[in-house]
Structures are given as C-alpha cells and as structure tokens.
Structure 1
C-alpha cells in the first residue's frame, strides 16, 4: 500500500534528488528520471544511488526540476487556490 506523504513534498522542495520507492501516485506528480527517481528493489535503489553519486550534474538537474515543479504546483497556496477556484465556479 502506498500513500503520498508530506516528506514527498519536503524532499522535492528542498532541491535535492529524491529517490524513493515506486509509488504510482507520486509518479503521477513527479516524472521519473526528470523530477525524481523511483525503485522497486534494493538492488535497483543501490544501482541508482551509485549512478547519481557518480553523476553530480544529473543529480543537481533532477533536484532543480523537482524544486521548480513543487514550488509551482504543490505549495499550500497553490493547492488552496485550486480548491477556492473550484468552489467559486
């Protein structure tokens, strides 16, 4: 069972690379390999961690992409705006 957690957004808003288990709901919000990284097995996680440790520019790029997406779409202010706009319509 997977759920979205506050840390999913804390991590992406920090500007760092977020590597977490493959949660389908989270994958709908943050594109794999562009805004976050996901894994199913320990072996897959280890392989991805090794890759990103060896590729700091890619690590930084994904962190920045996640930060920009999270700041644009997933702040309390932006989410509440969507709700209030829906109520007004």
Structure 2
C-alpha cells in the first residue's frame, strides 16, 4: 500500500478541509437564494481545491506508486499514469 508523506498529507488535508468549507458555503448560498454568479464562483473555487488536492496526491506519491512491494521499480505504463491524471479532469 502506498502512503502519502506526512508533510504532504497535512497540506492536502488542509486543502480538502478548505474545499469542504467552500462546499458548505455553496449549500448555504443556495438555501439563502443568493445570486447564481456568486454560487458558481464559490463552486468553482471548491472544484479547483479538490482538483489541486488530487494532483498533489498523485505528485507526492508518484515515486511510491511506481514501486512494487519489494521496493523495486514496476513496469507502469505511461497510459496508466495518463489515466490517473485524466481521472481528475
């Protein structure tokens, strides 16, 4: 199993907590009947934060993801890596 280094995990967790707060704000804004432009702006910020967290996870753990359980490099195909990145788009 691949784990995220502790320093990166803290940074990613903070980013996701921020996104969680932004999503809560979006829900409140909808319930309050706020202007749709403001809602979309907030929703875009949440989406961006989630995307950036996903990219940070991939970037910080890429080296570990490319290793097998014995610690040697595995034969990961470029197509597989592309699929990981594209899954976030």
User: Larger Cα Rg: Structure 1 or Structure 2?
Assistant: 2
The answer, yes or no, to whether TM exceeds 0.5 is no
Q: Output the TM-score relative to the length of structure 2.
A: 0.34
Q: Output the TM-score relative to the length of structure 1.
A: 0.34
